[in-house]
Copies of this chain bind each other. A is one copy, B any other.
Amino acid sequence: MPHGPLMIIGGAEDKVRKPTILKHFVALSGGRDARIAVIPTASSLGREVVDVYDALFTKFGAARVDAVRPESREQAHDPALVKALDEATGVFMTGGNQLKLSSIVCGTPVGDAIVRAHERGAVVAGTSAGASIQSSHMVAFGVGGATPKQRMTQVAAGLGLVDAAVIDQHFDQRNRYGRLLMIVAQSPQLLGIGVDEDTCGLVEDVDGDLLMRVLGKGAVTIFDGSRMVSNAHEAKRSSPLLASGVVFHTLPEGAVFNLSTRTLVPQEPVVDAEDADELAEASRDLRELARDIAAADATPAAVARRLRKRRTPRSS
């Protein structure tokens, strides 16, 4: 069985007006058959956060929502929590403090059960802290700012659902370019993935390649340091870092990126219904005109009439 989809959400996903991302999570988890485990450990308001997601996922049609809320590594050995994860079709990790989440669950039966859920095909989703923990390497904490500076952030170990990567969130809103770049400058084998608020990278295994499709209001930013030149091993104190030749992708909704080959997957342009009708008409008309010209049957008036009609939509 192929591994399940991952949903890497940049925090502050819309829960009220246009909750596209959370609805998509329930649908992917099986809709009316969805059994969802919510892990609120990152949050200091665990109980209340579970209530919110329970209400939302139930409203979107999930059959069952369980709270899996270890608050210590000891509790992360509880067989009842492991059972809830083993039976889940979808796992959702909330926001909060990712270092609390990772230091409580990683390397425990609960942590292992999350990895197992992913391996058997369940959806694993997480927002903010719950996004960060999905990569092999995790931003533990650090300051904002666009320019990468030595020591501006700390790396800890994540769950490793996305290998050879480091995920950051609230990316645009908290200006986290610098800290993600610092990590990539120090560890160029890691792909840097920055996710904006109310935005999701949906990662699926397609024929052995990990493809990420972007959903939501913002963008996902990728830093690829494969061929970078950096001075990270010798930069002193908190000085700005040299990072030259980083390849950079900013990906809005609909864009698909191959995380395995680190390349954009070309997409057909989206044409709305009205534009499609206009284009089809213009296309018919041009074909007719070409025929008339070939038959030496195009009068100047006929050509002028056709060219007047052949406005391509939305050019201005």
Contact = CB atoms under 8 A, between A and B. Distances in A.
A269 B234 contact: yes
Interface string A253-277: 1010100000010100100000000
A122 to B, nearest CB: 30
Contact of A147 (B148, B231, B250, B264): B250
Contacts of A239: 252-253
B250 A244 contact: yes
A249 B181 CA distance: 10
A283 to B, nearest CB: 18
A171 B196 contact: no
A248 B250 contact: no
> How many copies of the shown chain assemble into the complex?
2
A231 B253 CA distance: 12
Contacts of A147: 171-172, 196, 218-219, 221, 250
A262 to B, nearest CB: 10
A180 to B, nearest CB: 10
Contacts of A145: 172
A293 interface: no
A177 interface: yes
Contact of A240 (B235, B244, B250): B250
22 contacts: A145-B172, A146-B172, A146-B177, A146-B221, A147-B171, A147-B221, A148-B219, A218-B240, A219-B241, A229-B266, A231-B269, A239-B253, A240-B253, A241-B250, A242-B251, A242-B252, A243-B250, A244-B250, A244-B251, A245-B264, A246-B248, A246-B249
